[in-house]
Structure 1
Amino acid sequence: MCAIDLFGRMHTIEPDVERPDRDVVAAFEEIPSTIVSDVTGNVGRTMDADLSPASDGVDLAGTAVTVTAAPGDNLIIHKAITMASPGDVLVIDCDGYTGVGHVGELMCESCRANDLAGLVIDGGYRDSREIAEMDFPVYGRGVNPQGPLKQDPGSVNVTVSCGGVSVDPGDVVVGDDDGVAVVPGEDAQDVLELARAKLESEEETREEIQDGTYLFERNGYDELFEDLDVVGPEDSIQ
């Protein structure tokens, strides 16, 4: 459904989301955000460091329901909560605005009660203490006690920019204490396999390190150091 408001702005509500297999998404609960970043090339898949978790020890894995909300307004976020399915993560683009708390304790409680996996908002939230004490992952750009307006419909399930990352509905969102990484939905199975292989490789490396091996030599960084003809991320090595 599309609509144009009095200011000529287009708003879209798309009820259907193509989600990856649930078992694949659930498997990302065991994958750190750092590993997702590594196997997806360390470029453009991790959100800004300013989008931090509301509490420590958080783990997040779910499929994105995306939201574009006008800065200072949360009407569309309320609508999106009713559209999300169990296991989804609300990914909300508020253009980084932290002048109000777009979501608070009761909205997050509603998400948790309906079995959503978490919420990521490129904007401000409030009730930070109560949210931190919940068993519900929330990431945001800042905290502000001021409440939002409810007069702009916004959009649901369109491509958004959140924390500097382009997110489509159905993408896999992975979060932990280090931050948030995003996996394109169509690549979820391939990325999961690469991530598992990376974890196995790191376990072998860890054993060698404990025996005294230097990463500088084991990974060929010594050769890289001698030949610093590196011009871009694609020329680097892990």
Structure 2
Amino acid sequence: MHTIEHDVERPDRAVVEAFEAIPSTIVSDVTGNVGLTMDSGIRPAFEGVDMAGTAVTVTASPGDNLIIHKAITVANPGDVLVIDCNGYTDTGHLGELMCASCQSNGLSGIVIDGAYRDKREIKEMEFPVYGRGVNPQGPLKQDPGSINVTISCGGVSVNPGDIVVGDDDGLAVIPGKDAQTVLERSRKKLDSEDATREALEDGTYLFEMNGYDKLFEDMDVVGPEDSIQ
């Protein structure tokens, strides 16, 4: 069963663009650290990536990219293609030319739970691409998939219209309905970290600032003299 949904409820574009200035680590912190950060196997094609966009989700058969070509025509400027290839890395599902098409049509990036190819050319284009691997093998074009359905990518459930934030550290996902709240919390977290950084520059320890010293006192800490001889 293949589904193509053209209508996506997207967050306000200004809110999405504001996340371009928010690190993935901050998003992860304010959303609770668990469940909204993709696993470390999904890596950027090059260093220095900063990406934020609205998810257009894709399910593609491993080794086939026909539906990915279709998804590029469905996406709007500012969108990120988030593609579930079931982690398949024995085929490069997309490469330089498809990325060039995405870039010229204003897409913000691609995330693929699978492999891509033309890594050097993608780096030269400076088009944000994240994937689980790189493989020169070309794909088939014979098995459609689905567009704008709930998918799993990098261990995270992603819905069309969610916001995807990426940088050198990795990828974080923000449910579209929570975008404004997460943005406000992220800005407060950044302000808090600025104040913390100033205190650290004066020689204060995070161990004491965050109350870790009290936690440490409550633990049973043993020394060599307590070990079994």
Same fold (TM over 0.5): yes
- Flag the structure with larger Rg: 2
The equivalent residue for 1:160 is 151
- In structure 2, runs of 5+ residues without a counterpart are 221-229
The correspondence for 2:161, drawn from 167, 170, 188, is 170
Q: 2:73 & 2:163 partners in 1: Cα distance?
A: 20
1:24-81: CA deviation from partner (whole Å, max 9, x where unpaired): 0000000000000000001011111111000110000000000000000000000000
1:228, distance to aligned residue in structure 2 (A): 5.1
The equivalent residue for 1:223 is 214
Q: 1:185 & 1:228 partners in 2: Cα distance?
A: 41
Paired residues, number: 220
In structure 2, the residue corresponding to 1:223 is in which secondary structure?
helix
Where does 1:1-238 land on structure 2 (aligned, <5 Å)? 10-227=1-218
1:59-112: CA deviation from partner (whole Å, max 9, x where unpaired): 000000000000000000000000000000000000000010000000000000
Would you say the 8 A contact 1:55–1:133 is kept in 2? no
Distance 1:228 1:171, change over 3 A: farther
Q: What RMSD, in angstroms, separates the aligned Cα atoms of the two structures? A: 1.0
- The sequence identity of aligned pairs, in percent, is 78
TM-score (norm 1): 0.91
Q: 1:226 & 1:137 partners in 2: Cα distance?
A: 46
Q: 1:28 & 1:224 partners in 2: Cα distance?
A: 34
Q: 1:134 & 1:225 partners in 2: Cα distance?
A: 49
Runs of 4+ in 1 over 4 A off after TM superposition: none
TM-score (norm 2): 0.95
In structure 2, the residue corresponding to 1:11 is in which secondary structure?
coil
Q: 2:122 & 2:145 partners in 1: Cα distance?
A: 25
In structure 1, the residue corresponding to 2:92 is in which secondary structure?
coil
In structure 1, the residue corresponding to 2:139 is in which secondary structure?
coil
Q: 1:185 & 1:33 partners in 2: Cα distance?
A: 16
1:187, distance to aligned residue in structure 2 (A): 0.2
1:119-138: CA deviation from partner (whole Å, max 9, x where unpaired): 00000000111011112100
- In structure 1, runs of 5+ residues without a counterpart are 1-9, 230-238
